[in-house]
Structure 1
Amino acid sequence: MDFLESTKMAVKTLTANKLRSTLTMLGIIIGNASVIAVIGIGQGAQRLASEQFESLGPNVLFVSPGTNQARNGPRGDLPKTLVLEDAKAIAAQVPSVQGVAAQRQSQFPIVYRNLNTNSTVVGTTPEFLSVRSFDIAKGRFITQQDMERNTQVVALGADVATRFFGNQDAIGQEIRIKGITFRVIGVMQPKGAFLGTSQDDSVYVPITTQANRLSGRTSPYGLDVNIISIAAKNEASIPAAEFQVTNLLRLRHKITGDDDFTVQTQKDVLAIVGTITGGLTVMLAAIAAISLVVGGIGIMNIMLVSVTERTQEIGLRKAIGASQQNILIQFMIEAVILSAAGGLLGTGVGIGAVTLVAAISPLQAAVSPVAIAVAVGVSGGIGLFFGVVPARQAAKLDPIVALRSA
Structure 2
Amino acid sequence: MSLITPVRVTLRVVDMAVRATLAFRLRALFVIAAVGLGIASLTLIVAAVDGAQKRAREVVDTFGPDAAFILGGDIQSRAVGQRVLTLSWRDAEALRQSLPGAYMVVPMRAKWNVILKYRGRSVDLPTVVGATQNYASAWNWPLAEGRDFTDRDVELGAKVGLIGATPAQKLFEDESPLGKTVFIDNLPIQIVGVLSYRGGTTGGGGDPDDRLIIPLTTLTQRFNMDRKYFRALRVKFHEPEYMDAHAANLRSLLRHLHGLEPGQPDDFTILTPDTILKFLSMLTGSLVAFLGVTATVAMLVGGFVLANLFYLSVSERTQEIGLKKAFGAKNRDIMVQFLAESVLLTLAGALLGVALGVGLGQALTRLGVLEIELSSRVLTLSLLAALAIGILFGLRPAKRAAGMNPIEALRGG
Give the structure-1-normalised TM-score.
0.82
1:297-349 deviations in Å (ceiling 9; x for gaps): 33223322322222224445677898xxx64x556534532443445556666
Q: Paired residue for 1:200?
A: 209
Aligned pairs (5 A) from 1:336-347:
336-342=339-345, 344-345=347-348
Aligned pairs (5 A) from 1:4-403:
11=14, 13-19=16-22, 20=24, 23=29, 24-25=31-32, 27-29=34-36, 31-32=38-39, 34-70=41-77, 72=78, 77-107=82-112, 108-119=114-125, 120-195=127-202, 196-217=205-226, 223-256=228-261, 257-315=264-322, 327=331, 329=332, 332-342=335-345, 344-345=347-348, 365-367=373-375, 369=377, 375-391=382-398, 393-394=400-401, 401-403=408-410
> Contact (CA 8 Å) 2:163, 2:213: kept in 1 or not?
yes
The range that moved more, 226-235 or 13-22, is: 13-22
Amino acid at match of 1:35: L
RMSD of aligned residue pairs (Cα, Å): 3.5
> Contact (CA 8 Å) 1:135, 1:188: kept in 2 or not?
yes
Amino acid at match of 1:365: E
Aligned to 1:50, the other structure's residue is in SS state helix
Alpha-carbon shift at residue 265 of structure 1 (Å): 0.6
C-alpha separation in 2, matches of 1:134 and 1:174: 22
Alpha-carbon shift at residue 374 of structure 1 (Å): 5.0
C-alpha separation in 1, matches of 2:356 and 2:236: 40
Alpha-carbon shift at residue 241 of structure 1 (Å): 1.1
C-alpha separation in 2, matches of 1:401 and 1:193: 68
C-alpha separation in 2, matches of 1:378 and 1:190: 41
> Contact (CA 8 Å) 2:166, 2:210: kept in 1 or not?
yes
> Contact (CA 8 Å) 2:161, 2:214: kept in 1 or not?
yes
C-alpha separation in 1, matches of 2:117 and 2:348: 56
Q: Identify if the C-alpha distance between structure 1 residues 133 and 314 changes in structure 2 by more than 3 Å, giving closer, same or farther.
A: same
Alpha-carbon shift at residue 245 of structure 1 (Å): 0.7
C-alpha separation in 2, matches of 1:183 and 1:321: 91
The range that moved more, 239-248 or 30-39, is: 30-39
> Contact (CA 8 Å) 1:66, 1:79: kept in 2 or not?
yes
> Contact (CA 8 Å) 2:326, 2:406: kept in 1 or not?
yes
C-alpha separation in 2, matches of 1:169 and 1:320: 84
Alpha-carbon shift at residue 268 of structure 1 (Å): 0.9
Amino acid at match of 1:340: V
Q: Identify if the C-alpha distance between structure 1 residues 7 and 161 changes in structure 2 by more than 3 Å, giving closer, same or farther.
A: closer
Alpha-carbon shift at residue 7 of structure 1 (Å): 7.7
C-alpha separation in 2, matches of 1:199 and 1:213: 24
> Contact (CA 8 Å) 1:87, 1:100: kept in 2 or not?
yes
Amino acid at match of 2:161: V
Structure 2's unaligned 5+ residue stretches are 1-5
Alpha-carbon shift at residue 98 of structure 1 (Å): 2.1
Amino acid at match of 2:240: E
> Contact (CA 8 Å) 1:7, 1:333: kept in 2 or not?
no
Aligned to 1:142, the other structure's residue is in SS state coil
1:50-95 deviations in Å (ceiling 9; x for gaps): 213311334211111121334x455x53332212321221122112
1:282-310 deviations in Å (ceiling 9; x for gaps): 42354344443343233223322322222
Aligned to 1:308, the other structure's residue is in SS state helix
C-alpha separation in 1, matches of 2:311 and 2:396: 8
1:232-269 deviations in Å (ceiling 9; x for gaps): 21321211210111111111111112211111211211
> Contact (CA 8 Å) 1:32, 1:289: kept in 2 or not?
no
Alpha-carbon shift at residue 26 of structure 1 (Å): 5.0
Amino acid at match of 1:259: D
C-alpha separation in 2, matches of 1:263 and 1:37: 33
Q: Identify if the C-alpha distance between structure 1 residues 85 and 330 changes in structure 2 by more than 3 Å, giving closer, same or farther.
A: farther
The range that moved more, 177-186 or 115-124, is: 177-186
Aligned to 1:171, the other structure's residue is in SS state coil
Amino acid at match of 2:120: N
Percent identity between matched residues is 28
Q: Identify if the C-alpha distance between structure 1 residues 84 and 234 changes in structure 2 by more than 3 Å, giving closer, same or farther.
A: same
> Contact (CA 8 Å) 1:63, 1:227: kept in 2 or not?
yes
C-alpha separation in 2, matches of 1:8 and 1:170: 67
> Contact (CA 8 Å) 2:84, 2:231: kept in 1 or not?
no
> Contact (CA 8 Å) 1:158, 1:190: kept in 2 or not?
yes
Q: Identify if the C-alpha distance between structure 1 residues 397 and 332 changes in structure 2 by more than 3 Å, giving closer, same or farther.
A: closer
The range that moved more, 264-273 or 308-317, is: 308-317
C-alpha separation in 1, matches of 2:406 and 2:353: 44
Q: Paired residue for 2:3?
A: none
